[in-house]
Chain A
């Protein structure tokens, strides 16, 4: 058993989990020195996470491939059931309560989506990648993404969508085509001013001439971009003021320093005041005196930055990098297409969540509500993170298999 464990994946993950528990201990200790029991619960979650890790990495790869459709259907079912039997917190219905435990089906859906996409793309031939495959891939994640968005959980919904271009890329789709595929999103943003949109369309047309995709794909790209460019201003005008405000504050939190911007401002203060070496364990004023919201969950990285400084941040980022680089390496070495794609999908999810979470806490990205893998408080996130490590270890161990 021990021989099957890839130390480059397992050890950093374990270290990150333990650092996370230490930070949760600090984040939730109140000003009079009493700590909440959350760090103990997180320790229990880590134990369960390790069991899940062992289980996931012990199952034969074939089973994942064969049952991927079933997983996908179960995930969809759970997401739908959530609207009937889910537990609500803070206005969102994301959890199933099972006794003292509560689990988020969206985390399970992330794994299911990887497996389904991996199986679908593994059966396509390369090198002639068909644009149709990309369209199917997006269709596959559309339903779970919408269901998750409805909870509402913008962050997880983004993760599910973001995994698609990553796996298409690994599946052999030319990077230029992926860029063209994503161009309507840029059009959507550029269309807020006619000039920026016109320039973008010009660039797009030139790109089409250079890249020379199939005529059908080119037409599709043009059509979607035109639609995005024309409908965005129309839709925008129809929006209520509060809806516009919500979108604008999402893109630029500084517009609302009392509300949405408050978290980011406090997080930047926490990280910035940490300096090179930090204020020391349990010495963070931003977290200790509760100025930092969601400090044990989505903003755990800010606690790290405040108490352990740049040095602590770099150590954690390097640990994450080890996992991600190893993940890419595992995906590269795997001879089996399905396993290779699975490994790359798992790595994509981890990388995306780490970069977006750290980007949010440092004020680089808008607040989306994504936990930091292994470190943020919460069982579902912990189980997902360790399942992904489990999948990666499985691929790492069985790389020679076809």
Chain B
């Protein structure tokens, strides 16, 4: 049935076929230019408009006297533009060879990036100038790799205040999913520890954005006229309660002994004057390329430099807790200042076990005041037995031990105040002896406190019984000039009458100034110091040295708690540190010999000051 078509028919068929194809092309054009027009318009804009995020200048941190502690400095960041890199795996390998840096894999970087492939993605933050020079030299071999000047944090040198200041780093993926409702975006900087973390919402400000017109070759032609840039809103500046002079000198002193913590509080306001944890770490390490080796060293250090011992270190309070045991005895009426117990002959037997006093030759028979001043263990064993576990732990809890102080820093620990319920849980009901209270009464055994709790407690004794919430922020200065003063909250009163508090104070004064006081190393010539030493037994090594105090006794302006790990007696190690701190705080020079080596390097700090 081979049909022959006339010329007419064939021309009609040809025209028909052509028309069919022409209509197909026109429909395609209609689809592209009318139906998908909006989508393609957007892609075309993404093509030539480079969205440049403008990071907001992060708020600055000052100490209570207006000394600049944490500022921003210019730094270089390396970016890459995905579409200009044909083979990312190879390009990154090449780059990391040329710059001698290890890089994340491209897939890691591209994950979570919803941006167009024309937008630069940050590869490295805060690289050094040498790296930028190498990059410039090789710029022809490294298409799609660019750098930009940004801000990076500048922290005090030698890790001073690292635990309280914290540091910032790029937000992690886990944090991004957790905090995305707070407006964080991929690549943002975020406070990771300390004040930087706690007050990130004040410090970070709000990023802006600018729009640049860019050619396919990456040449920037200037601002894209079609979109208005949004300037960034800077973060708020914060004036901390910290006295930097006090902080620095306390850090040097603790560092001299190795590890430990010191907390100084203003008893009237709850303001933290110094918050020292040693060993510390250098927050400047986290601003840019954090080498794996550096992180490994920090994380695996047996001294745990990342731990903030002030609020995360829990220690037995040792003899510093005798003041609480004594107050509990007085307040409950179980003893008076005249009550006498059995004579201290260097130890005392309870049941079939002998509990030793720290002084092998014994203290003789002491009154309450002298027992505190001389820190007689035998007296307090008997006082503890007299009070009993329930009453003792009740007073300790009502003195705000065993719970969080509520300081404005993340990750605080509450410590442990053992109670009947606690022991039942630990050992099983009825499977523990009542003599456990004997040990608790001298602050040993299972009782654990943080140096911060001790400082808050001593501040409360000093101010007449008010337990104040400790805090680090004194004033916030918003970018519009508004100043907001922060105030500490009253957590509650100590469970002690003014009479009891008076006796406690007197006993603490005697413990430092009395002829046989254990804290004589803390005596200052012009100021009366009230304090209590402690020597915490440590099953893993040398004893921890404690000293807690406040001064001046009549009108307290500072309360201090110090613990020095594995350093020996509180009276010999911790008390002199407290004395130096108070001397600094009150502006007096102390002639007593101290760890001079640690103090000598102080002058260097001035270069980054105001």
Contact = CB atoms under 8 A, between A and B. Distances in A.
B515 interface: no
Given A31-B221, A127-B4, A291 B216 contact: yes
B25 A285 contact: no
B432 interface: no
B32 A362 contact: yes
Nearest to A127: B4
B25 A331 contact: no
Interface string B92-104: 0000000000000
A1 interface: no
A310 B34 contact: yes
A285 B32 CA distance: 17
Interface stretch (A114-122, A141-149, A322-330): A322-330
B88 to A, nearest CB: 10
B18 interface: yes
A266 B3 CA distance: 46
B22 A355 contact: yes
Contacts, number: 130
Contacts of B32: 268, 271-272, 305, 362-363
Nearest to B14: A328
Nearest to A176: B2
Contacts of B33: 271-272, 274-276, 305, 309-310, 313
A286 B26 CA distance: 21
Interface string B206-224: 0000000111110101000
Contacts of A244: none
B7 interface: yes
A271 B1 CA distance: 46
Interface in B1-38: 1-5, 7-8, 10-11, 13-15, 18, 21-22, 24-26, 28-30, 32-34, 36-37
A269 B43 contact: yes
B47 interface: yes
B214 to A, nearest CB: 7
A329 B11 contact: yes
Contacts of A170: 10, 14
Contacts of A271: 29, 32-33, 40
A289 interface: yes
If over half of B's interface residues share one DSSP class (helix, strand or loop), that class is named, otherwise mixed; here it is helix
B80 to A, nearest CB: 14
Contact of B14 (A169, A276, A314): A169
A49 to B, nearest CB: 24
A110 interface: no
A338 to B, nearest CB: 14
A362 B34 contact: no
A355 B83 contact: no
Interface in A284-341: 285-286, 289-291, 305, 309-310, 313-314, 317, 321, 324-325, 328-329, 331-332, 340
Contact of A285 (B1, B5, B21, B44): B44
A359 B521 CA distance: 93
A276 B4 contact: no
B221 A210 contact: no
Q: How large is the interface on B (under 10, 10 to 19, 20 to 34, 35 or more residues)?
A: 35 or more
A212 B34 contact: no
B41 interface: yes
Contacts of B354: none
B605 to A, nearest CB: 52
Contacts of B18: 321, 324-325, 328, 351, 355
A94 B37 CA distance: 38
Contacts of A363: 28, 32
Contacts of B15: 325, 328
A329 B7 CA distance: 10
Interface in A162-212: 169-170, 172, 174-177, 210-212
Interface in A241-276: 258-259, 266, 268-276
A310 B29 contact: yes
A358 interface: yes
B86 interface: yes
B12 to A, nearest CB: 9
B11 to A, nearest CB: 4
A275 B29 CA distance: 9
A362 B25 contact: yes
B265 to A, nearest CB: 62
Contacts of A276: 33-34, 37
A355 B22 CA distance: 7
Contacts of B86: 258-259
A260 B18 CA distance: 28
Contact of B25 (A169, A273, A317): A317
A241 B221 CA distance: 41
Contact of B40 (A169, A174, A269, A328): A269
Contact of A362 (B29, B39, B215): B29
Contacts of A268: 32, 40
Contact of B29 (A270, A305, A324, A332): A305
Contacts of B3: 174
A124 interface: no
Contact of A314 (B4, B26, B40, B44): B26
B41 A290 contact: no
A290 B34 contact: no
A399 to B, nearest CB: 12
A317 B26 contact: yes
| Residue among B14, B22, B215, B217 with the highest chain A CB neighbour number at 10 A | B14
A172 B32 CA distance: 39
Contact of B30 (A289, A310, A351): A310
A260 to B, nearest CB: 12
B30 A211 contact: no
Contacts of B401: none
B26 A289 contact: no
A351 B19 CA distance: 10
B11 A328 contact: yes
A289 B8 contact: no
Contact of A289 (B7, B83, B214): B214
A61 interface: no
B1 A212 contact: yes
Nearest to A175: B13
Contact of B47 (A210, A269, A324): A269
Interface string B116-132: 00000000000000000
B1 A273 contact: no
A364 B25 contact: yes
B159 to A, nearest CB: 46
A12 interface: no
A176 to B, nearest CB: 7
A270 B45 CA distance: 11
Contact of B11 (A126, A273, A332): A332
Contacts of A351: 18
Contacts of A332: 7-8, 11
Contacts of B4: 126-127, 172, 174
A233 interface: no
Contacts of B457: none
A175 B4 CA distance: 9
A54 to B, nearest CB: 28
Given A211-B1, A291-B216, A332-B11, A317 B22 contact: yes
Contacts of B550: none
Interface in B400-450: none
26 contacts: A169-B10, A172-B4, A174-B4, A176-B2, A266-B47, A268-B40, A269-B43, A270-B44, A272-B32, A272-B43, A273-B37, A273-B43, A289-B221, A290-B215, A291-B47, A305-B29, A310-B29, A310-B34, A321-B18, A324-B18, A325-B18, A328-B11, A329-B11, A331-B11, A332-B11, A355-B18
Nearest first, the 6 A-B pairs at minimum CB distance are A272-B40, A273-B44, A127-B4, A290-B216, A332-B11, A272-B32
Given A174-B2, A289-B48, 16 more contacts: A31-B219, A169-B13, A174-B3, A174-B4, A213-B2, A269-B47, A271-B29, A272-B37, A273-B40, A273-B43, A275-B34, A275-B41, A285-B45, A289-B215, A313-B33, A351-B18
